[in-house]
Amino acid sequence: RKGAMRAGSLLGASTLRGLSPGASSPRDVPVRSVRALAHPRAASESSPDVAAGLGERSRRGDSSSTSRRGSFTLGRRRPASSAQTSSRALETASTAASTSAPSWKDEPAIGPLGIERAHLPRHVAVIMDGNARWASERGVAVATGHEAGVDTLRTIVRCCGAWDVAALTVYAFSHENWRRSRQEVEHLMSLLERTLVSELPSLVEEGVRVTVMGDMGMIDDNLRAAIAHAVESTETNTKLRLNVALSYGARQDIVNACRMLATEAAGGLLDPEDITEDLLGEHLASRTLPAELREPDLLVRPGGERRVSNFLLWELAYSELYFADCMWPDFGEGDFREALAWYAGRQRRFGARGIAA
């Protein structure tokens, strides 16, 4: 198929096509249910424009800046007045979203899976691939494919909650995606921000805990605030861990972990002989998850490609890899059932003989 999309983006390659009438930039698009954006039949459920209240985006700076180094930390220090303004705007946006976005309870019910829990993966990782090709095949704007991709993500999150999958890690935006045009990146970041705000009430209601891993050095204050708010608002939830890989690259993550260990050793805080796999793992971005959940049991990649694209290279060492030919927006409950049924039939020996898990 034409236009194969580079993996690693929640919303894929993007342009500003497909914005609502009168919108000249992603910031002009109202915060609304992404279901309404992807499906015209739901357009009447759109909410008032509260995105503008989140303020202007900060300048990102050069892509080679050293500010991109280091692991994710919530909340860069800012002047008090700016932080207070952002906080008030975010509260306003969240309140509006909670009253306008449809609850997940209004979505079609997820049916029983019919697979014994012992045969299910505890942690599923997903590379969400194919939004742009999906849009191209239908002759619609790429942005429409991205919105439909968010619909699919909502469905898979709901399936994981219904079927007792403990953790779901999704490749939202790769480290390499920063090489794309500024216009494209800003559109992706804006949609991610709006999705976090509009979906947060349902995430809280359904017991989903949100964590984010990656290098946040290039993320602007508005998205940073939305992330921090989602993480804080869901930190006591226990039903499902939704781990979002944002501005993430596995090679960069491993290098960063090695640098941290080398710094500790050079400072006399660590004997190099004490460096183990577990210790290195404690310095990777996936430490956002409990130790027993950091390594995915199953990787799912729709979109027809057969590669892992710099995603969780350390953690995927013994993961089962499942590839589907359908594009991410078409990957629904039935497709996820097939992936889990395939996994249930696998025998995992972890290098040994006669021992299956």
| Positions marked catalytic | 129, 177
DSSP 22-77: T--SGGGSPP--HHHHH-GGGGGGPPP--GGGG-PPPP---TT-GGG-S---S---
What amino acid occupies position 167? Answer: A
- Classify residue 273 as exposed, middle or buried by CB count within 10 Å of its CB (0-12, 13-18, 19+): exposed
Closest CA to 310 of 256, 246, 253, 250: 250
d(CA 240, CA 117) in angstroms, rounded, equals 15
Phi-psi region of 169 (alpha: psi -120 to 50; beta: other; left: phi over 0): beta
Beta strands in the chain (DSSP E): 123-127, 167-174, 208-213, 240-248, 298-301, 320-323
- Pair 198, 31: CB distance under 8 Å: yes
Residue 331: CB atoms within 10 A of its CB come to 27
d(CA 290, CA 354) in angstroms, rounded, equals 29
d(CA 312, CA 251) in angstroms, rounded, equals 9
d(CA 301, CA 31) in angstroms, rounded, equals 29
- Pair 261, 280: CB distance under 8 Å: yes
